[in-house]
Amino acid sequence: MKVDNSLTENPLLIIDGYAVEYETMNDGWFLLLEEDISKVKYLKKENAEKIYGGKGKNGVVLLTTKLQEREIANTKSDKKTLYVLDGEIISVDEYKKIDQSKIIGVGTITEQSAIKEFTSDNYDELIYVTSKMPSD
């Protein structure tokens, strides 16, 4: 992106609607694999500054992850989803508020026996989010 647009400074990075600092991407807490990305769009600085003000002075890279697309699709379907963060059941609202920069991994589980490990209620799928390393 930087080479294609002849950028000398890092543009503002927005992942699934959240601004992410480049520095946090290298501190060990942030993991975003290429296969997790579904869309990438670059806003040139003229348009970016209109929307993001001074933060968009170097342009803006908008990334949409497959997780975000799945979340949008889930809100449009009748699928019943259970959300789990680090082994604890959370609400959909809590799930939406998770700091994306703290996520280590996300998995979708549809196997009913695995879902029953968390609840006896009937769910079509379980979204398991890991935000911290498991302790030994």
Segments making up each domain of the chain, as ranges: 12-69, 78-130
Look up residue 98 and give its two tokens: 């998770």
Per-residue pLDDT band at 107 (split at 50, 70, 90): confident
pLDDT at site 91: 92
Look at residue 40 and give its three-state secondary structure. Answer: strand
Helix, coil or strand: residue 84: strand
pLDDT-derived band at 136, boundaries 50, 70, 90: very low
User: What are the start-end ranges of the H helices in the chain?
Assistant: 45-52, 66-75, 92-96, 112-115
Q: Which two tokens stand for residue 28?
A: 């060990």
